[in-house]
A and B are shown apart, each in its own frame.
Chain A
């Protein structure tokens, strides 16, 4: 099955801990994204990557880090510097080489809770 897989589905973090959220896609998409969603709110862009070994900050990158060593994978690390990390995290991917730009497809999300 082609798609985007996020893991884990639920994640609990202690204060001061770093945690890493996994995102893997087998759609052969070039671009990948991480969004954060808080209750009753829309999606806010954390980071995005259009090509391997390159990524750009979104609107709320502080306290987060990413890597893009492989086309299929775009893990997100929530560091201890992120003071309010409890949220629903969504990974998405899209084709880069399309005019006009194409739609993004989402994984099932990871719900992160600080305990």
Chain B
């Protein structure tokens, strides 16, 4: 089983809709969870970080964490064409605080 799993997509949503991106992880005691956005040919940039169960909102982005289900999601409200990118889920592995592992990413396309 992969440590961090995401649907590869592509996920296509119309402009103005809500995009929902999902991620599951295998290490039950993982502590920190991150969503990165990566445009084609560019390096990843941090969108959201979440550390405790529940929701965390930042502008149009909401991260949701459920440690019991080992599940983390990212919602993008009012999706814009500029949100079209690959979204990477990252998790720190518990036995080494700074050993960060990434999912394969979900490619999102927002159609005008």
Contact = CB atoms under 8 A, between A and B. Distances in A.
Interface of A: 31, 33, 35, 40-45, 48, 50, 56, 58, 90, 92, 94, 96, 100-109
Interface stretch (B11-19, B74-82, B92-100): B92-100
Given A42-B4, A94-B98, A104-B46, 18 more contacts: A33-B100, A35-B102, A40-B8, A41-B104, A42-B102, A43-B44, A45-B100, A48-B98, A50-B98, A56-B99, A90-B44, A100-B31, A100-B51, A100-B92, A100-B97, A101-B98, A103-B34, A108-B43
Contacts of B90: 104
B49 interface: yes
B32 A102 contact: yes
Interface residues of B, number: 26
Interface of B: 4, 6, 8, 31-32, 34, 42-46, 49, 51, 88, 90, 92, 96-105
A26 B42 CA distance: 21
28 contacts: A31-B98, A35-B102, A41-B105, A42-B4, A42-B6, A42-B88, A42-B105, A43-B102, A44-B102, A45-B99, A45-B101, A48-B99, A58-B99, A94-B98, A96-B97, A96-B98, A101-B31, A101-B92, A102-B32, A103-B34, A103-B46, A103-B49, A104-B100, A106-B45, A107-B43, A108-B43, A109-B42, A109-B43
Contacts of B46: 103-105
Contacts, number: 63
A54 to B, nearest CB: 12
B43 A90 contact: yes
Contacts of B45: 106
Contacts of A43: 44, 88, 102
Nearest to B96: A56
A101 B97 contact: yes
